């Protein structure tokens, strides 16, 4: 199967679902925006500084992006199992791992558009304008590799144990902690937990006005090691869980 056909099909699927369930998507975005407004204006009422407010905008947008990213594999596989299409994906001429990789790429493209739209609306409403340049795409992409790794872990667990919603909900709140860690501590732990260091660099770029050339090789090295470590571990766990699910015959039913 030609690679571009798989990617096209994945992106087309996202577009169809967005169009078909537009009201649900709209209500979800409105709920998220209301939550953001409560957080932002709550901070401003305490006379928070400009950098704090701008950092809140970035952190909140990254949190939404992160939740959507890892949900692609975790919640996505559960939905495929419920719909009865998971086994069909495994029977396609292309391997499921290849299909899942294109799903990740397709979801990143789709979700990044939503990320920019949501970020733009937040900047207009709050009056806090951030510096946007092409380098942000690279940092966001590298940062989210660790999140996709976690998504693969949860996706693998969902193949075997089916119900992992409680773990998904816990992770949503854990991501908030990971994102705010760089603002409350300079402990080396921020180098090891997912998305913390990447979010720190993104803040430096969008609030501090730095460019990709202003970061050191060590800073890039930490980001790459962190992101790829989580991604590789996630893929390994997914592969192990996938073999267990196949051996137990769990792919054909929920």
How is residue 198 written in tokens? 């990447």
pLDDT, tens digit, 9 for 90 and up, residues 31-70:
888 888 887 777 777 766 666 777 778 888 888 888 887 7
pLDDT at site 224: 95
Determine the length of the chain: 254
Nearest to 158 by CA among 146, 177, 171: 171
Q: Give me the long-range contacts of 161-169 (CB less than 8 A, separation at least 24).
A: 162/78, 162/81, 162/250, 162/254, 163/78, 164/74, 164/78, 165/78, 168/70, 168/71, 168/74, 168/75
pLDDT at site 222: 94
203, 55 contact by CB (below 8 A)? yes
Give backbone dihedrals phi and psi of 243, rounded to 5 degrees, phi first. -65, -40
Nearest to 118 by CA among 173, 39, 14, 37: 37
pLDDT at site 233: 94
Question: What is the spatial distance between Cα 2 and Cα 6, in angstroms, rounded to a whole number?
Answer: 7
24 CB neighbour count, 10 Å cutoff: 11
String of DSSP letters for 154-176? HHHHHHHHS--HHHHHHHHHHHH
Can you give the residue ranges of every domain in the chain?
3-248
Q: How far apart are the first and last CA of the chain?
A: 28
Output the average pLDDT for the chain. Answer: 81
- For the chain, which ranges sit under pLDDT 50? none
15 CB neighbour count, 10 Å cutoff: 12
Q: Which residue do the tokens 């902690």 mark?
A: 177
Q: What is the DSSP secondary structure assignment for residue 254, as one 8-state letter?
A: -
How is residue 51 written in tokens? 């950098």
pLDDT, tens digit, 9 for 90 and up, residues 218-252:
999 999 999 999 999 998 998 898 888 878 776 66
121 CB neighbour count, 10 Å cutoff: 13
57 CB neighbour count, 10 Å cutoff: 23
Question: What is the spatial distance between Cα 73 and Cα 96, in angstroms, rounded to a whole number?
Answer: 12
């Amino acid at each position: 199967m030609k690679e571009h056909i798989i990617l096209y099909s994945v992106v087309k699927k996202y577009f169809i679902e967005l169009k078909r369930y537009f009201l649900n998507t709209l209500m979800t975005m409105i709920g998220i925006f209301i939550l953001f407004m409560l957080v932002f204006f709550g901070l401003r009422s305490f006379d928070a500084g400009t950098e704090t407010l701008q950092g809140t905008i970035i952190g909140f947008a990254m949190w939404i992006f992160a939740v959507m990213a890892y949900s692609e594999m975790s919640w996505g596989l559960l939905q495929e199992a419920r719909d009865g299409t998971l086994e069909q994906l495994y029977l396609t001429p292309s391997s499921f791992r290849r299909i899942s990789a294109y799903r990740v790429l397709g979801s990143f493209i789709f979700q990044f558009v939503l990320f920019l739209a949501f970020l733009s609306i937040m900047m207009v409403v709050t009056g806090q304008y951030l510096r946007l340049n092409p380098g942000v795409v690279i940092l966001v992409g590298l940062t989210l590799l660790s999140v996709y790794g976690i998504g693969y872990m949860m996706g693998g667990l969902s193949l075997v144990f089916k119900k992992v919603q409680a773990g998904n909900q816990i992770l949503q709140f854990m991501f908030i902690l990971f994102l705010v860690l760089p603002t409350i501590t300079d402990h080396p732990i921020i180098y090891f937990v997912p998305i913390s260091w990447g979010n720190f660099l993104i803040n430096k770029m969008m609030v501090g006005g730095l460019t990709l050339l202003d970061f050191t090789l060590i800073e890039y090295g930490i980001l790459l090691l962190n992101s790829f470590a989580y991604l590789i571990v996630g893929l390994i766990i997914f592969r192990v869980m996938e073999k267990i699910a196949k051996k137990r015959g769990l792919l054909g039913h929920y």
